[in-house]
Amino acid sequence: MMRVERIVALELDAMPAGLAAELGEAGLSARAVHRAVADALAEDLPEADVTSWATIPADQVETADFVAREDGTVAGLGIAELVFRYVMGNEITVARPVADGTAVSKCDVVLSVTGPTALLLTAERTALNFACHLSGVATGTAAWVRALDGTGARVRDTRKTLPGWRDLEKYAVRCGGGVNHRHSLSDMGLVKDNHVLAAGGVVAAYELVRTRFPGVPVQVEVDSLDQLRELLAVGVDQILLDNMDPATLREAVAITAGRATLEASGGLTLADAAAVGATGVDFIAVGALTHSAKVFDIGMDLRP
C-alpha cells in the first residue's frame, strides 16, 4: 500500500511527461495544475484514508468508470487522471474515451481507471471535484455559445474565479467554446468607474495607464454614450459597455463604426444573450461562467 507521505509531498517533476506535454498544448501551466492537485490531495489526505485502507485488501484490483449523469461538455479529465497517477503511481491503466471539450450524453463513460481498489476510492472525490467543477464551467459556457450562435458575438470570461483555480477555470471556458479575457491585473489594463473617479475623468484615466504602461493593452469601461465618444476621439480601441440595454448597445455600435472592439457587460443572463449579441457587439462579458458555475454531475462506478 502506498504511503501517504508520497501523496502529500509531490514534486513537480513527478508529473508524467505525457500529461505535462498535454497540459502545455492546452495552454495550461503544468506548475499551476501540479500545485492545485497536490494541494487538493494534501487537504484530503493529511494522513491515511482510514476507511478504504482498513477495509479493502491491498492486492484487490478493479476498474472504475467516470460516468456522465447528464448531458453536457466535459473538461478537466486529464487533471482527474493526474490525481489518480499521483495517488497510484505506475500501478494503474487509464483510458479517456473522450477529450476535454467534447459534448457528452447521460450515461457516457468519460474516463476509466484500473488499479488497486483502495487507492481508486482514495483518489475518487479529489478527481471528481476537478472533473465535475471544470465540466460545469465548460457546460455553462457552451450554453452561452449556443445562445449567441449566428450573432457574431462571443462570450468572454472575467477574473471572477475561485482563488487558485484561475488557470483551470479559464481552460474550462475555452473547452466550452468561450474566450478568455485578461488573466491577471498585470497583462492588461482595465479602467473601471473607480479608476475614472480617482483620475478625474475617463480620458484622463486611460491616458495615465497608456503613459505609464505603453506596451500593455488597455480596455476602458463606459456607462454612457458621451464617455464612448470621448474615448473614440482619443483612439481607445477596446471599450466595455457597462449596463446598457440592447437599444443603447446598438447605438454604441453605430457610433463606434468599427473603430474599437466593444464588449457588453453587467448583469447579463442567458435569456438576454441572443438580443445582446444581435446588437453588433464583439464580446459579452459573463462572470457567471466561473463564479456561478453549476457542478456537472459525474459519478465514479466500480465495474461489477
Q: What is the C-alpha to C-alpha distance for residues 302 and 126, in angstroms, rounded to an integer?
A: 16
Which stretches within 149-272 are classed as H helix?
166-175, 193-199, 202-212, 225-233, 246-256
**Are both 15 and 118 inside the same structural domain?**
yes
**Are both 235 and 248 inside the same structural domain?**
yes
Residue 2 has pLDDT above 60, yes or no: no
**Are both 116 and 190 inside the same structural domain?**
no
**Are both 197 and 120 inside the same structural domain?**
no
Residue 104 has pLDDT above 60, yes or no: yes
**Are both 240 and 205 inside the same structural domain?**
yes
Q: What is the C-alpha to C-alpha distance for residues 127 and 66, in angstroms, rounded to an integer?
A: 10
Q: Binning pLDDT at 50, 70 and 90, where does residue 1 land?
A: very low
Closest CA to 129 of 209, 44, 200, 233: 44
**Are both 11 and 134 inside the same structural domain?**
yes
Q: Crossing angle of helices 202-212/225-233, nearest 10°?
A: 40
Q: Binning pLDDT at 50, 70 and 90, where does residue 115 land?
A: very high
pTM of structure: 0.94
**Are both 196 and 214 inside the same structural domain?**
yes
Highest mean pLDDT among 47-51, 86-90, 108-112 belongs to 108-112
**Are both 163 and 274 inside the same structural domain?**
yes
Q: Binning pLDDT at 50, 70 and 90, where does residue 6 land?
A: low
Q: Binning pLDDT at 50, 70 and 90, where does residue 237 land?
A: very high
CATH, residue 17: 3.90.1170.20
**Are both 206 and 257 inside the same structural domain?**
yes
Q: Any idea which residues carry the catalytic annotation?
A: 125, 160, 192, 221, 242
Instruction: Report the share of the chain in percent with pLDDT over 70.
Output: 97
> In which residue are the cell numbers 504511503 written?
3
**Are both 101 and 166 inside the same structural domain?**
no
> In which residue are the cell numbers 501523496 written?
7
Domain that holds residue 27: 4-138+294-302
Residue-level pLDDT at 288: 96
Closest CA to 236 of 254, 251, 222: 222
CATH, residue 175: 3.20.20.70
Q: How many domains does the chain have?
A: 2
**Are both 216 and 242 inside the same structural domain?**
yes
**Are both 131 and 185 inside the same structural domain?**
no
Residue 144 has pLDDT above 50, yes or no: yes
Give me the amino acid identity at 95.
A
